[in-house]
């Protein structure tokens, strides 16, 4: 099964999460690979509004029929906005993981952290190595 292609303007975390960094804010989501591995999502457990997230740590949960999975924050910061539409329509993540399926918007607390993330080419290399 071919991926839709991982956008070049995003940064990627090894737990198959992405960040779109714009100044000191970023939008987070899960990658095409992650949603494909999980299958159709049937539940989204959002984080608390205004809570803080730490890079590499879970901040939300998504569930398919068969399994629950933590959603890991690629970067640290404070949650500004949650994509509430996912509570009623979690399958949006499957349909559009890099667009309407975004999960949270965050004010970043450590801009240097972004250096630890992969660009699209590195992430695709990483996926290929995982085989």
- Check residue 5 for interaction with other proteins (CB under 8 A): no
Contacting other proteins (CB under 8 A), which of 3, 49, 57, 68? Answer: 68
Phi then psi dihedrals of residue 84, to 5 deg: -65, -25
The DSSP letter of residue 113 is G
Q: Which is nearer to other proteins, 48 or 78 (CB)?
A: 48
Rounded Cα distance, 57 and 10, in Å: 19
Q: Does 65 bind other proteins (CB under 8 A)?
A: yes
Q: Residue 111 half-sphere exposure, CB side, CA atoms within 13 Å?
A: 5
Contact with other proteins (CB under 8 A) among 15, 54, 56, 61 = 61
Binder among 23, 66, 112, 115 for other proteins (CB under 8 A)? 66
């Amino acid at each position: 099964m071919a991926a839709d292609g991982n956008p070049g303007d995003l940064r990627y975390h090894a737990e198959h999460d992405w960040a779109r960094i714009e100044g000191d804010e970023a939008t987070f989501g899960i990658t095409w690979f992650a949603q494909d591995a999980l299958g159709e999502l049937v539940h989204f457990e959002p984080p608390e509004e205004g809570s803080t997230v730490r890079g590499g740590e879970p901040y939300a949960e998504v569930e398919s029929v068969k399994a629950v999975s933590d959603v890991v924050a690629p970067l640290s910061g404070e949650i500004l906005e949650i994509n509430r539409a996912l509570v009623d329509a979690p399958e949006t993540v499957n349909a559009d993981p890099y667009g309407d399926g975004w999960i949270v918007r965050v004010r970043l607390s450590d801009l240097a952290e972004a250096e630890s993330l992969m660009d699209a080419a590195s992430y695709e290399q990483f996926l290929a190595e995982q085989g």
